[in-house]
Structures are given as structure tokens and as C-alpha cells.
Structure 1
């Protein structure tokens, strides 16, 4: 990709190769990382507390799905807008303003009095917090010289991978100890640190409010419609039987119209609000495609394991958190090692190792049974934690290598948007696979467990005798034995469906290794040399 020498009004100017990084800069970058971590964390943090939230708000499980959907819709819409918003309000002004609004809406989520108010506040929370994700990546590229970007990208990678795994853990602990509103109030701690860090670490600049008058509002409207409707289609599709529902068909059509309109307007404007032409760069295209698949793995694993542990193993949110945390904690040790290697070894090799380890960890989870719990899942979580840092760091390098200075915000926005979309697509596909495979296995098991079979009759007789021995009359005991056998069949069907879902994830992640090698060779800059592709 060719780099331009002209810097448009409001564009961010990267640090010089030999620039010394002072304390203020590191504080600003750390503050940006806190923002990204906080925004990603809030996607998952309600999952383990959803039952308590729904009980307080008198809502059903299906209605409660909109609590997460509203946040995701708003977040996915604002991420592509980050490049424009930073040029208009400056990095310092926008990060402080949007974080302050995020904290207000987080507090209002804890004060929600019914489901409708919760959905509105979650949507506003997502809209104000979503842009913090790409801005953290942009800060690394703009404020750190090439020799320090591997360190910055390593920290950014941790925010993207630790947050989804820590969300259910932190949410479970806070809900059990202090009640579910505390999962929203906790945002004040990193939020205030972020505001102070950005206020002190970044220089004040003049805003360019006149740019709003010339913005591509038609393209923005198409983008917002397309991405929001696509998210709703993906999040609600499984529960509404996909294209058997007029509601889902409507949102699928709106998503298609919005995305096609967005692409068309973007390609016909000289200065679109986000540069979709970046997808024409081979490394960027490969990086974003793989980022979507990794997003499926990250959010898919964070979706499947807590669901399995709660439904099959009967774990409490706090117990689930103790299992999930092992997918996060080892990353703190691995990431510095990955950052050091990324400047010495072809990043395609490192990313292949990471994808292989992540895929193997999913395969290790494909042999679960009714007794699987903490001890059996520990090592698969550790293997996953060893692989993920190599993936996230190197994909960031592939995506941002060779990007011209005026396209850095656009590249960061598109890279993070694609990962989040991959997570939504992955969860939708896995939820559908889980439902379909449960029905399949239930039918197969039902065929083999006939009431006329000797083994089945013997098992029913044994269970009936157990119920009779507890004081139940023979007729009721026989009915209870049949019901108990049906529950066992359903449980085993679900376990096999969970195993199938992990196999699907494992094959997708391992298959990504082949796609990865279509990218050019890349290493992280290790000294004062430029940031071009090697």
C-alpha cells in the first residue's frame, strides 16, 4: 500500500522512528488500553448475572437476550465512526467525553427499573464505549515509535483476549458478593483512571467541528442500518428459527440493503468517513478475515463453556469463573514472550502456532461427559491461553503494517469491527449448531432406547424400585422413572452437541492456518527502522 505524504486536516501524525517515549505517552497509551478492556468486558459481563437481572426486571430469558443485543448493536455501529469522531473532536476530547458518558449510562444500567429502560441504557452504554476499542489501537500506532509498537500491540492484544474470558468471572463474583448492579458500577474505577490518564497524557488540540457538515451522512446512515440490523439478525436468529420468522427476514433484508449502500457510497466518495478500500490490501484482508474467525473462537468459547458448566455441571457463576479464568491468566506470562519473538520470527509462523494451540484446545473440549468439570477443563484452558497471545499480536501486526498515516484510524476501526462481527457470527452459528445437534442426538438416542428393549426395561425397573423405596406408590414411581430416563437422554444429547460445537471451532481455527500463508512475511519493527512490511 502506498503511503501519502500529505496529512489531511485532523489526521493523526505517528511518532517518529527515533522519538523517545516519555511517561506522559505511556500513561496515555495505558489509559487507552483500560478503555478498550472496559468496553470489551461489558459485552460479556452480564452473561453470568443474567438470571438475577431478569428476575429483578420481571423478564423472560428470550426478552433478556436484548440486553446483550442492544449493547452489541450500538458498539458495532460506533466503531467504524471512530476515525471521523477523532478527527472532529480530537483524540483527547473525544476519549474524555465518551468515557464520561459511558460511566453515566453504566450507572443508569444499575438503576434500571424495567427491561425497556435496561435495553435503552445498554444501547447508550455500547454507543459511548464502543469507540474506545479502536482508539486504543490507534494510540499505539500514533503515539509509540516503531521500536515500541510490539509492546503496545501486546498490551492491546491482552485487552482483546482477557476481557471476554474475565467478563463471566468478574460478573459472577460481583453479582454473588454485591448484587448484579455492581457489575455496572465497577466501571467507575477504570473509567476515572482513563479520563485522568488521557487528560494528562495527551496534548490539547483544536476541534474541527466544521467537518461534521461535510461528513458522509448518507453512508453513515447506511452503515448504521446495515450493521445494527445484521447484529440483530445474528443475535436473535436462532431463538426465532431464522428464516421461518418474518421478523428475522425483515432484519436480514435491511442488513443487506444497509451494507450494500454503505459500500457503494464509500467507493464513490473521495474522503469516506472510514476507508473500506483498505480491504484491497492483501495483508489487511487476511488479517481481518482471520480476526473474524478468532473472534468466533474467543466469544464462542466464552459462550459455550459457561453455558455447559451451568446447564450440565450445575456450577454457580463463581464456580464458572474459576474455570474460565485459566483461559486468561497464563496470557499475562506469554504475551511479553510473544512480543519479543514477533520482531525476530516471521509472524506467519507465530500466528500458525497460536491458531494450532487454540484449535487443539477446542478439540480437547470435544470429549466432555456429565462428570467433566474444573479438573478436566483446566489444561484445555491453559493450552488456549498459550496460543491466543501469538494470534492477537501477530494479526495486529499484519493489519497495521504498511498502513499510511491518514488511514491508521480507519484500519484500527475496521480491524476491530470485523473481530466483533466475527464474534456475533460465531455465537449465532454455534447456538444454531447446538440446537440442531441436540435434536439430532436426541432422535438417535431415542431410537436406541426402546421401551421394548430388555436393557431399557431393566433400567426402568431399577429406577422404579428406587422411587418405591423412597415411599412413592408404584404407578407414580414408574412415571418418575420414565421422566428421569428422558432427562438423562436430553442431558447426554446436549453434551454431545457441546462436543460437536467445539469440534467445529477447532476445525475452523486450524483451517485458518492455510489462509494465513496468503499474507506477506511480516515482523514487528525492532529498532529505529520504519514500519513498512518486510
Structure 2
């Protein structure tokens, strides 16, 4: 059975067939190719899922590794740093090892390190295994994207991108859900062993669906190692700066200042190196294309929205109504599940309607769902959050799918791996920026609201005196002496003030995410009119 497999050394030859829509006889895609695409999507889903999956189980993991909450943040940071560093390198590794070999090899290593995470005996071992897990799993995200662009003819790419969009939006919402269920039922190591199911399916699908390619180790010696060095220092330091900044009080910490300086050094070095090199390992000049630049800005904002909303809501549900990981999962699930039914519909629409209109509609829904969450109170729970979660699920596919179409419109076949790496890298970076911003905003806004409420709730205010008196009487009625009851009443009032100020801070956080998403609508209209190719038409202006 013939497969439309991508051979990196012959990228130009393969590429000439890809964008040329009139070559309709090759529009048929074999079942074998679809199996390879599906396997690639499983990989992307698994890699994105693992960013979030430890969040709901962190308390259990930290307990068994004897680590503090602050130390525990490195479990997520280590994975993110390694993932963001490897994403831009996938183009080079694909050329050296071949798509098939690289995907099978990196997945096998990902499964090995996932298993070792489950066996981690202390915090240090967990951080090292998580870093190796991120380095091997991160490659799977842009590889899935590249498979769609290189294996499918233009008319089928909207379908491929719809599936890829699902992996990017479903996984962040399913991570805490799955993590919560598995931890509660089988203990936290099970969240890492879970990867064996999609991992083995991925290896089988890629081994069957893609042709063998030549191994070209000679490309390693001529690779742009200086560019890779600058990129790794810049992106790695930037991620550490963003992830650890809030817990270490930002620029009050010499640790954070060091990583900020390293990030600037690395990123500037990467840009200069890329401008001077004839063949940089990633083509940063793509940022000079208007459509790609707009898509990148959108991708970053989408990362902020996706990871930001799935950071705020579990935190709120755990802290204010006191939900268990499993209950949190049941709420968040609703921002994921409806997407399965929406995505095919959006894929069809994207070839008929100007994608800027579809993306605007998606951003309005996604931003609107965050605004709905900006008016919560201490009694808000599952029932009140259900509608906003469904609105979010309706909006996300419209943004994710059209974003891919903007990014890839007019990209030359030889630049596909670079474009795929950069767009996925910026989404992950947007997630880190979003979480850092929101964590800082939560802390500062909670202090602000606490002070403002404290101005009204004083011992001189009649309403406060009445409430204190009622609470004191209530505690005396429960058998406490008057001094203890009085202290307990004060503590109770203080608890209410803190709770309310936290709720208001969460509301501010959701409002911030909504404003970022609405602002993106303006950026979006700087790009050209794009439609997904259908039948045999190329996506164009």
C-alpha cells in the first residue's frame, strides 16, 4: 500500500507536491497514512496532558517525597523547561534520524522516563526524571503538527488540523481530571504509568504507517550548535524565570535576576546567530511574515488562556469550596468533552468561511466564558460553573483550528518543521507567561482586597460588632468559655475576610484572561483572509 510519507532529505521534492493543489490524483489518503497521523496525535495529546496531570496529585506526591510546596513547583518547571527547549530542535532531529525512527525512539524513551517518575524515591530523582520526560515528550507536539502538513494533501489538512487542535485544547482540561481520578483510585504513580497505553499505540501506528528513512548522522556535525546553545539557555532560563518568579518575589531574588539575565543573553544570542547563519536550525525569519507573526501572537495568547484558565479554576475549587481532586476533575471535564463534537463542524466551516470571522467568534466565546467566571462568590460550585465550561468548550476549537490555518498560510514546504516548532513553542511559552502573571496577580490582588475589606470590617463598625457578638454567643452555646469563644469569633471573621478577598482575586484573574483574549481580536485582523483548502483549492488571500 503506498503511503504519502515525508522524506526529510527530499523535503523540497515532497514539498512541491504538497501545496500544489491541482495535482488531484494524489488527494486520496491511504488508511496507512491516517493511522500514522492518528498515532502522531496520540503523542501530542500525551505530551500536553503530562504538563497538567501532576497538578491535582501534587499534594500526594510531595507528601511521599517529603518535599515542600515551593520545592514541588520544580516538578512542573523541570518538565516545561525541557519540553520548550526540545520543541525547536525537532526539525534537526527529524532530518538526522528520519520521522519514523525519531518518533519511535523518543516515545520509547518517554515511556521509560514516565515509569521512572512513578518510581522516584526523592524530590531530586523526580525532578531529573520529569526533565527527561519533558525532553523526550516535547518533540511529540510539533511532530504531530508536521505530520499533518507533510502527509496530507491540502484538501485533507483541515481535518488533520481539527484533530491536532483537539489534542492542544482537550489535554489541558483532561489533565487534572485524569490525574485526580487515578490518584484517588490507584495512587499517584499511576498517573505516570498511564502513558504506556497511548505510547505503545503510538509506536505501533508510526511503525506501520510511515516508511523507513535513511539515518544521516553526518548532519549532526554540520548542525547549528551555537544557535541550539543560545536557544536552550534563552528559553530554559525564561521558563525558570516565569515559573519560579512569583514564589521567590521576582526581582527581590538574586536567583531570579540571574535567570532573567541568562534569558536575555540566550534569546538575543539566538536572534543574532540566526541572522548571521546561512542555515540556522530554526528559521526565525518566519516571524517577519505578517500572517505568521499574527498567528504567533494569537498562539501565545491562546496558551495564556488555555493554561491560565486551567490553572485558576482547580486552584479556586480546591481552596474555596474545598473540592477533592476527583470533584475538580468533574467540573473541568466540561470544558473538554463538548469539543469532540464541535471540532468536525469547525473543520468543515473553515474551508467555507473567512477564518478571521471564525477565530473572532471563538475568541468572543472563550473570553466570554472567562468573564462569566469573573463574578464568582464563595458559594460558586459545579452547578454555577457548568455553563461557563460549556461556552469555553464551544469557543476553543474555533480558535485552535483557524490559528493553524493562519500560521501555515504561505509557508514554504522546507520551512514547515520550523513553522511547526515555533508556533507550538510560543503556545507553551504563552502558558508559562499566563500562569506567572496570574500567580502574581492572585497574590497582589488578594492583599489589595484584604486591605479594602479590612477598612470596612473594623471592631468599631456596628455590623462587625453584631456579627462578633452573634458568633461569640454561638460558640458559648457549644460549651466554650467566653474568652475562647471571643477569640474563635475573631478568627472566624478573619477567615471570612480572607476567603472573600481570595474569591475577588480569582475573579480578577479570570477578568485578566478575558481581556487578553478580547485584545487578540484586534491582532487577528492584521492577518490576511484565509480559508482552509477544500477539494483542491489552496488556502489563500
In 1, the alpha carbon distance for the partners of 2:77 and 2:300 equals 18
Q: How many Å apart are 1:109 and its aligned residue?
A: 0.1
In 1, the alpha carbon distance for the partners of 2:533 and 2:216 equals 33
Partner SS for 1:81: helix
**1:253-282 alpha-carbon deviations (Å, 9 max, x no partner):** 000000000111011111100100000000
**1:214-249 alpha-carbon deviations (Å, 9 max, x no partner):** 111111111001101000000000011100111100
For the Cα contact (< 8 Å) 1:133–1:416, is it kept in 2?
A: yes
In 1, the alpha carbon distance for the partners of 2:11 and 2:204 equals 24
- Partner residue of 1:332? 340
In 1, the alpha carbon distance for the partners of 2:307 and 2:365 equals 17
- Partner residue of 1:112? 120
**1:36-63 alpha-carbon deviations (Å, 9 max, x no partner):** 0000000000000000000000000000
For the Cα contact (< 8 Å) 1:284–1:400, is it kept in 2?
A: yes
In 1, the alpha carbon distance for the partners of 2:419 and 2:33 equals 21
Q: 1:313 aligns with which of 316, 321, 328?
A: 321
Aligned length: 527
For the Cα contact (< 8 Å) 1:10–1:88, is it kept in 2?
A: no
Q: Which runs of 5+ in 1 are unaligned?
A: 1-6
CA RMSD of aligned residues (A): 1.0
Partner SS for 1:442: helix
Whether 2:301 is the aligned partner of 1:293: answer: yes
**1:384-433 alpha-carbon deviations (Å, 9 max, x no partner):** 11010000000000001111111000000000000000000000001101
For the Cα contact (< 8 Å) 1:106–1:184, is it kept in 2?
A: yes
- Partner residue of 1:49? 57
In 1, the alpha carbon distance for the partners of 2:368 and 2:206 equals 40
In 2, the alpha carbon distance for the partners of 1:309 and 1:8 equals 47
In 1, the alpha carbon distance for the partners of 2:519 and 2:414 equals 34
For the Cα contact (< 8 Å) 2:106–2:136, is it kept in 1?
A: yes
Q: How many Å apart are 1:8 and its aligned residue?
A: 7.9
In 1, the alpha carbon distance for the partners of 2:176 and 2:83 equals 19
- TM-score normalised by length of structure 1: 0.98
For the Cα contact (< 8 Å) 1:282–1:519, is it kept in 2?
A: yes
Q: 2:473 aligns with which of 462, 465, 469?
A: 465
Whether 2:424 is the aligned partner of 1:416: answer: yes
**1:119-140 alpha-carbon deviations (Å, 9 max, x no partner):** 0000000000001000000000
Q: How many Å apart are 1:11 and its aligned residue?
A: 3.1
In 1, the alpha carbon distance for the partners of 2:10 and 2:43 equals 22
- Partner residue of 2:96? 88
In 2, the alpha carbon distance for the partners of 1:43 and 1:438 equals 27
Q: How many Å apart are 1:454 and its aligned residue?
A: 1.4
- Partner residue of 2:77? 69
Runs of at least 4 residues off by over 6 Å: none
Q: How many Å apart are 1:9 and its aligned residue?
A: 3.4
- Partner residue of 2:195? 187
Q: How many Å apart are 1:349 and its aligned residue?
A: 0.2
Q: How many Å apart are 1:207 and its aligned residue?
A: 1.3
In 1, the alpha carbon distance for the partners of 2:513 and 2:110 equals 33
For the Cα contact (< 8 Å) 2:8–2:94, is it kept in 1?
A: no
- Partner residue of 2:378? 370
Q: How many Å apart are 1:10 and its aligned residue?
A: 5.7
Whether 2:413 is the aligned partner of 1:405: answer: yes
In 2, the alpha carbon distance for the partners of 1:205 and 1:52 equals 44
Whether 2:176 is the aligned partner of 1:176: answer: no
Q: How many Å apart are 1:530 and its aligned residue?
A: 3.5
- Partner residue of 1:197? 205
Partner SS for 1:11: helix
In 1, the alpha carbon distance for the partners of 2:109 and 2:9 equals 27
Whether 2:132 is the aligned partner of 1:121: answer: no
For the Cα contact (< 8 Å) 1:11–1:87, is it kept in 2?
A: no
In 2, the alpha carbon distance for the partners of 1:403 and 1:131 equals 21
- Partner residue of 2:400? 392
In 2, the alpha carbon distance for the partners of 1:53 and 1:294 equals 29
- Partner residue of 2:11? 11
Matches within 5 A, 1:88-487: 88-487=96-495
- TM-score normalised by length of structure 2: 0.96
Q: How many Å apart are 1:469 and its aligned residue?
A: 0.9
In 2, the alpha carbon distance for the partners of 1:66 and 1:409 equals 30
